[in-house]
Structure 1
Amino acid sequence: MIQSALIKKQRRILVILLILIMATIVIGMGTGYSSLSYDRLIPVLFGQGTFKEEFILFSIRLPRIVITLLAGMALALSGAILQGITRNDLADPGILGINSGAGVGVALFFLFFPIQSNSFAYLIPLIAFISALLTACFIYLLSYNRNAGFQPVRLVLIGVGFSMALSGAMIVLISSAERTKVDFIAKWLAGNIWGDDWPFILAILPWLIVLIPLTLYKANRLNILELNEPMAIGVGLEIQKERILLMITAVALAAAAVSVTGGIAFIGLMAPHIAKALIGPRNQLFIPIAILMGGWLLLFADTIGRNIADGIPTGIIVSLIGAPYFIYLLLRK
C-alpha cells in the first residue's frame, strides 16, 4: 500500500510540473520570429485578434507547442517502460536504436511510396511503429541468450550498434534522394520538429490516449518485472508475455513521437530518472511525473532552440543536455 505522504508529495510535484508547462507554453506563444505581445494572447485565444495574430498563434505556434509536449510525454513513458522491462537504467528508445529504426521506415516510405498529403500525417506513425517494432525484435533476439536468459547490458550495447548502423543507412538514403526529400531526412536526423500542424497532433494523440492508461494499469507488473526473474515467476507473473506486451507499448510510443519530431534521444533517459529521484522507484508514483517531466523537457528545449539558440534543432539542444547525463549514469553504473 502506498503511503499517503508519498501520494501528497506526488500531487505537489505534478502541480509544480503543470505550472512549469503552462509557463513555458505562455513563453512559447509570445516569442518567435514574428512578434505577438503577451497582452494580446488572451484576446487572440478568444477570437478577438487580427488575421495576422490568429495565423501566428493558431497555425504556427500552438500546433508546434502541442506536438512537442505530446512527443515529450510519449518518449518519457517509452523510456520508463524500457528501463523497467530491461532492468537497465541506461535504456532509452534513442540509445537502443528504436528511434533510428522508426526513422529508416519513415524515410523509405517518404522516398519511395507516393501518398496523398491529406493521409500522410496519419500513416506516418503507423509506418514508424512497424519499422521500430522490427528493429526492437532484432535487438531483443540478439540480446537474448538461451542459457543466461535476457541480458540487459548486452541489450544496450547491441542497441547502440543498431542506432549507429541505421543512422548510416539514413545517410545512404540521403545520397540518392532528391534535394527536397534530402532536406526532410536531414531535418529528421537533427531532431527538428517538422510535423508542426494540427493533423499531426490528431495522428499522435490516439496512441497516447490508449497507451498511457494501459501503462498505468500495468504499473504494478512493471514493479515485479524489475525484480529478478525467479521472484517474478514465484508471484505468478508470465514474464515473457508481459515483457513483450510492454515492449510493444514502448516501441509504439517512441515511434509515434519520433515520426513527427525526428530523431530525438535522451528524453526517455532523463525524465524517468529525474522522476525516480523526486518520488522513488515505484512505477505507480513516478510514471505520471515522468510523463509530465518529459513533455516539459522537450517543450523547454524547443523553446530555447527557437528563440535563444538561433533556430538550432530541438534534438541538438536535448543532446547537449542529455549526453553529459548519459555519461554520468554510465560512469555511476
Structure 2
Amino acid sequence: MKIDSHRLEINETCNPEYIEAIKKYWVLENNKFINKSTVLGKPFGFSAYEFGNMVKAESKLFIEVKCDTCPNIESKQVKSQSNFITIKSNLCDTKTRLVNCAKCKAKIETQKLEELEIQNEIRIEKQKFAIKNQTWLNLTPFQLNALHCIIQNKGISKLFTKFNNTPNNNIWSAIYTLRNLNLIVLHYKEDNSHVIRTSFLPELESLLPTVNRLVKSKPKATYNSTSKELKIKLTKNNNVKNRDSPIYSGVLNFEEDVHIEKGTQYTFGVWKLEFDNLYFTLIPTDSIYKAPSQQSTSSQPKHLKDAIQDFFNSSKFDF
C-alpha cells in the first residue's frame, strides 16, 4: 500500500515538551512506524500505554491512499500505530494486495456473492443428480457408514471418534469419495484447505440404505446364443489394502457354459465405464470378419484390423 500523502495535526493546547515526541511517534518509513511508544514515553515517565493515550488525545494523523482499481482517493484518520495496521488490512485485498476504495470493495464483494451463488447452484444440481442415480450403491459398507455418521452429526468431526481404530488416511479417503460422488459438499476456509463445515441435501438421509442392507452390484456376464462370446462388467475394488491387492474384483455366476475353443483366434476389448468400472468382451475373430468366397474387386472385405475396429465402433454392446 502506497500512501500518497499524510498530514499531522497537533492540538494547540498540547504541552510543548510533548510535541517533538509526538512527531517522532508518527514518523513513517516504508509504511512502517519506526519509533515505539515505550522508548518515546520513557523520558516523561510514561508507560507505553500512557504515552499512546496522550498521543491520541493531543494529535491526529490523516493519510490519503489511491485506489488501485479506480481513480478514487481514500482518506483515513489514523488513531494509533496499531490502528494503522488495521486500516492497511481493511484497504488491501488479502490475495491481490491491491488497495480498494469503499466503492470498489463493495463491488468486489457483490461479485463474490454472485459467483458463490452460481457455484452453490451447480453443487446442488450435482447432488440432485447423484441422488437420482443412487451413487451410494457404489460405496463400500465403511463409506456408507461414514456417510450416515456425517449426516447424523452434521459434519465430519465425529468420524474420527467413531472410527478411532481406523487410520486417518482411510477416513479421509472415504470423505473424499463421498465428495467426489457429490453426496456431500466440503466447505473450506478461504485461505487454506481446512474444512470448516460439511453440507448435503436434506432428502439424502431418508433415501440411504442401512449398511447391512447394502447389496453391492455383482459383475454382470452376458452371452450370445452360441455361448462363444463373453461380455463381463468388471467392478472396481474399493477395498485396496496395498499394491498387491486386485484393482478389480467380484464374483461371477455363469448361467450357461461358455465355450472357449483351443486354437481359435479371439478378439478382446476393454472399455472404461463410470465409477472406474470396466467392460470386457471376448469374441471369436471369425464372427467379426468372414472373408467371402468370391466377389468382385470393388467389394473385397476390409483389412482384418479395420473390420475389428468397425466392430468395436458399432453399437452392439449393452453396457
The normalised TM-score by structure 2 is: 0.21
The higher-RCO structure (CA 8 Å, 6+ apart) is 1
The normalised TM-score by structure 1 is: 0.20
> Which has the larger strand fraction?
2
> Which has the larger helix fraction?
1
Look at both structures and tell me which one has the larger radius of gyration over its CA atoms: 2
